Amino acid sequence: MVSKAFPPTFQYFTTSGGARVYRLPLEAFPNFWAYAYLVLVGDYRVLIDCGSGNDGSSASLEAALAQVNQQSDRPFRFEDLTHILITHGHIDHFSGLVFLCERTKALVGVHELDLHTLSHHEERLAVISHRLGVFLSEAGVEAEPREQMLRMHKFTKAIYHSLPVDFTYETEGMRVGPFEMIHVPGHCPGHVAIRLNDIVFSGDHVLAGMTTHQSPEQLIPYNGLGHYLESLSSFERWAVGARVILGGHNAPIENLPGRIAAIRHHINERLQTAFEFLAEGHTIVEVAEKLYGRMGGYNALLVTEKAGAYVEYLYQRGMLEIVNLNEMEESAQPVTIRYRRSNHSASSEILVQEVKHVFV
Ligand SMILES: [Zn+2]
Ligand SMILES: [Zn+2]
C-alpha cells in the first residue's frame, strides 16, 4: 500500500483494529501538497487536518471525497463528519475550516497552545508579526527585505478568519474516542501526533525525506530546536509498535527509528557547521547564508528562521556569546546581534564533540 509517487495520490489503509483510513491529497498552495486523512472507526467519522481552504485545496478535497465514495457502498458527505482534529496551527493544516464550517457541524479540536491561532487568528498574526519584525532586525535583515518578509508573513489574513473551536485535547484527557494524542511542541507550539491502533498521524513533526521547519522560540514560545528534539524523543517512545506513520506531507514512514536517526543526524550536522562558522562573530543572516546559500522571497524568511533556531539553541546552552553587547545596552531599538563561540581556547574538534554531546 505504500507509494512514493509524486504528485501525491489518494490511498487507503486499514488499522490493526479494522478502522478504514483514507489519505486525501490536497493542493494546499500551487505545487505544494498536504495530506488530510479521513478515518472511519465505529461511530467516529473523523477528518485529521483539512488543507488550506483556498480554491485549489478545497477542489482537491472534494475530488478526494469523490474517490472515497468510489470505494464504499454508502456515499460519504462532509455533513457526515463527527470531528475535525487539527494536528497543529499551520495554515496548510487548519485553514480549510473556512471551507468546511459551512458544510459540516463536526466538532473541531486542537491543542490548547494552538487554540488562539484558530480562534483569535488576527490577534495572533499581529503579535507574531510584531515579534518577527524585532527578530529579523536582530538577525541582520535590512529594512526593505524585512518589510517584504513581514508582508509575506501576513498573507494568511486573506485566506483565514477566526473560527470557534469546540474543544482542546487537554480538556478531553488527550483522547477522543479511540484516538490518542501526544503533545510534540517544537515545529509548532500546540503540535500533536494522533494514534489509532497501529497507525500514527504525525502532522509535520516527523516527515519522510525532509527535516521539519524550525523557528526560534524567541518568536513563538514552545517553538525552538530544544523543544523539537525533546519531542522527537518522547514521540519515538510513544510511537513504539506503530506499523506506519502518516505525515502531513510526503510518503508514509515504515522505519520510524531510522527516520528519526536521520533527522537527528541532519540537525547535528547543521549545528556543527553553524558552530564552526561562529569561531568568528556573525549575524543570523550570515549563518543562514552559510547553511543554505543565498535565498530570495519566502525562502529567505524560512532560512532566517531556521538559522535563528540553530543559533538560539547554541546560545541558550552557553556555547555562544554576543560580540556587540555594548551596542545592545546603549540602544532601546532592536540592534543587529553578532554571535561568536564563547570558548575560544578549546579546539574546534573538542567543541564540535561538545555540541554532539548536548543533544544526542
Ligand atoms: Zn507545519
Ligand atoms: Zn505542513
Ligand 2 centroid – CA 45 distance (Å): 22
- % of the chain surpassing 70 pLDDT: 93
- Quick check: 1 pLDDT over 50? no
Look-up of cell digits 563561540: 341
CA gap 94, 231 in Å, rounded: 21
Ligand 1 centroid – CA 336 distance (Å): 28
Residues of the chain with CATH 1.10.10: 267-359
pLDDT of residue 105: 97
- Quick check: 133 pLDDT over 90? yes
Question: Which one-letter amino acid corresponds to residue 277?
Answer: F
Strands 11-14 and 20-29: antiparallel
Q: Cα separations (Å) of 110 from 39, 113, 212, 265, 286?
A: 17, 8, 20, 31, 37
Ligand 1 centroid – CA 332 distance (Å): 34
CA gap 83, 92 in Å, rounded: 18
- Quick check: 70 pLDDT over 80? yes
Residues of the chain with CATH 3.60.15.10: 11-265
pLDDT of residue 348: 53
* Cell numbers placing 231: 519531542
Give me the CATH topology for the region 267-359: Arc Repressor Mutant, subunit A (1.10.10)
pLDDT of residue 357: 45
pLDDT of residue 360: 40
Ligand 2 centroid – CA 33 distance (Å): 9
Write out the residues surrounding ion ligand 1, Cβ under 5 A. Answer: 90, 204
* Mean pLDDT score, 220-230: 97
Ligand 1 centroid – CA 127 distance (Å): 19
pLDDT greater at residue 54 or residue 346: 54
- Quick check: 350 pLDDT over 50? no
Ligand 1 centroid – CA 94 distance (Å): 10
- Quick check: 3 pLDDT over 60? no
pLDDT of residue 157: 77
Tell me if the domain spanning 11-265 has CATH number 3.40.449.10: no
pLDDT tens for 263-299 read 999 999 999 999 999 999 999 999 999 999 999 989 9
pLDDT of residue 344: 55
Q: What pTM does this model have?
A: 0.94
Ligand 1 centroid – CA 90 distance (Å): 5
pLDDT tens for 75-85 read 899 999 999 99
- Quick check: 5 pLDDT over 70? no
pLDDT of residue 102: 96
pLDDT greater at residue 2 or residue 288: 288
pLDDT of residue 353: 52
- Quick check: 6 pLDDT over 80? no
pLDDT of residue 345: 42
Q: At 315, is the pLDDT very low, low, confident or very high (cuts 50, 70, 90)?
A: very high
- Quick check: 343 pLDDT over 90? no
* Mean pLDDT score, 28-57: 96
pLDDT of residue 137: 98
Q: Cα separations (Å) of 351 from 208, 337, 344, 346, 348?
A: 31, 22, 10, 7, 5
Question: Which one-letter amino acid corresponds to residue 337?
Answer: I
pLDDT of residue 356: 53
